[in-house]
Amino acid sequence: MRTTSVEWMKEHEIKGEKGVLLLIYVQPGASKTAIKDVYASTPPRLKIAIQAPPVDGAANEAVIAFLAKQFKIPKARVHLLSGETSRQKNVWLSGVILTQATETLAPLLTRLG
């Protein structure tokens, strides 16, 4: 089920530093690493398929690397705030503004149809 809400992406500030909070749902062990859809949960979450298995933090590391690549930021600016052992994760992108996040993700979501 697809939702048009962007509740899964919002501005968020930590210790005076601005960034964007992404609410994501991770599907580890996928055949290909990619943004899949918006997962219709409460609240909605951006669904990301990750090739890495959910073992020894490999999926978390892959999520961080994937988001850093998509946003063209260092991995050190991608912070897993919660969900270390869960498919539902909250990720903060420090120094990223909401318009940048929207511009980065819109083409990826548009391709999904």
In tens digits, what is the pLDDT along the chain, a chain of 113 residues? 333 348 899 999 999 999 999 999 999 999 999 999 888 888 999 999 999 999 999 999 999 999 999 999 999 999 999 999 999 999 999 999 999 999 999 888 876 65
Count up the domains in the chain and report the number.
Answer: 1
- Cβ of 83: how many Cβ atoms within 10 Å? 18
The pLDDT score that the predictor gives to residue 111 is 67
Residue 110 lies in a domain: no
The pLDDT score that the predictor gives to residue 5 is 42
Residue 3 lies in a domain: no
| DSSP character string of 40-109 | -SSS-EEEEE-SS-SSTTHHHHHHHHHHHHHHT--GGGEEEEE-TTSSEEEEEEET--HHHHHHHHHHHH
Q: What is the CATH number of the domain that holds 60?
A: 3.30.1200.10
- Cβ of 67: how many Cβ atoms within 10 Å? 23
Q: Please identify which residue in the block is written with the tokens 């909401």.
A: 98
Residue 105 lies in a domain: no
The pLDDT score that the predictor gives to residue 106 is 87
- Whether the full predicted model's pTM is greater than 0.85, yes or no, is yes
Structural domain including 42 reads 9-88
